[in-house]
Structure 1
Amino acid sequence: MCGNLLIILAVSSDPHLHKPMYFFLCNLSLADIGFVSTIVPKMLMNIQTQSQSITYLGCLIQVSFTYLFACLDNLFLTVMAYDRLVAICHPLHYTMIMNPRLCGLLVMVSFLISILESQLHILMVLQLTFCSDVTVPSFFCDPPQLFNLACSDTSTYTILMYFFGVIFGGVPVSGILFSYIQIISSILRVSSSGGRYKAFSTCGSHLSVVCLFYGTGLGSYFSSAVKSSARNGAVASVMYSIVTPMLNPFIYSLRNRDIKRALRRCLSSTN
């Protein structure tokens, strides 16, 4: 969380970073902070009190905010891929295309779509019937795990869950793949190797975060849906919900000179 806060502080305090790329990075950092804040405080409280209980209302709130911030991460990564596409393939028109109005609109639409997805998952969980107190084999309330524990028939909701996964997950992934196909095609047309490296280096951090996010996300999504792999699902959930948001700021700060320079200025000004 501190790493994400440092990125927000660095971008907001440095006028040189007031660009669409870093505007979306700040929003991604905010989503990561929200994601971690939804899961970690309750997990730490359970560890301290040696209690693993959560109320039904608390579980619903956790499901809602978990999917809200996860979907925001998903959509912001897609928007950032589009931003890199415009910067590399249409550099002369970049400032005209990625104007403040469009950037704000993309963030607002991402937020509205994320609210829609989270509420759809809440509606599915509300339809479940549990015979007694149940033990969720995960560190937070995850609908696939709850479906496995319900007494009522969940076949319809399971199909709907995967359908929503394809829509809200598959469409952004397709957008990222399309953007990078266009980016790679444009980079390959650059004559000098130095120009190709410089162009691709601007996408390196984003591509690393995309691979980490979707790699751990798919692992958590499919392992939690399999009843025989509860332990593996719990480990995958930790990787997805804690490790990934923790590593994102380090990936961006270590590979981005502008971020490192802004962070050094922020830290030196506080001394």
Structure 2
Amino acid sequence: FKLCVAAAGIESGKGGFTYTCTGSCEIIDRFFKCHKRSGHGLMNLKSGLANSCNTFFYNYAFYIGGDKIYNAASSLNFGKAFDICESLSVSAGSLPQKESLSNIAYLANFSIGQGELLTSPVAMLNLYCAAAYDGSYSIPSVVKGTLKDGKTEPYEKGGRIRIMSDGTAAVLREYLAAVIEEGTGASARPKTVSAAGKTATAQTGKFQNGTEICEGWFCGFFPAEKPEYTVIVFSENTAEQTKSCGEVFAEIADGITALKGDN
């Protein structure tokens, strides 16, 4: 979800924000921690995204404002059900009430995809498709077309939905490539093609042997310079993974690239 916050910030002309991460920051009457307890040091938007720095994004969200982030999320169909073919829908998930984001603790959680935000892999895919293309996306479908009178008619879901400018999308592609090349997404680097994307971890509130069960994600696209494919990999229990989601993404990217080379 940090990519949505980044898009909202760049679109509002606030892409130059910097923040020094010390490992935690005090919000109202409690400390919100970063995953790197010793801190990341001075972060800008590119390095904050590459290192998935929580404290950077807490404070970046305060700088942007909850309304702009909420509006960006809503335009991506977060919190809304939508059809991917007849009789098959993507679950709505949930967005927090816009008014609740005036509370900076709620906004901090929202900025890193926690709190009341619930989403589906398909909704997240919309965000990455927009970044991979020109800032717009089409509602995804599992149907390519329908057969009528011996002719195939494309299955149309309407026009493209623009959520950011082409310029913002280009910046995000550069930043997401840095996640793989310089940051937390190194395991997702394919051997045969360039790629861009980001890791994510979702809390479930469920525990096993005293340890919370977390869900792992990796969402990205390739080739990084001129994307043709967007892929999301999701693991329901990271403790039981034999491979990380990033590693699976890299194998998919290499596999598709090999198939294209054979044709």
- The interval holding the TM-score normalised by the smaller chain is under 0.3
Q: TM-score, normalised by structure 1?
A: 0.26
- The structure with the largest alpha-carbon Rg is 1
Q: Pick 1 or 2: higher relative contact order, CA cutoff 8 A, min separation 6.
A: 1
- Specify which structure has the higher proportion of strand: 2
- Specify which structure has the higher proportion of helix: 1
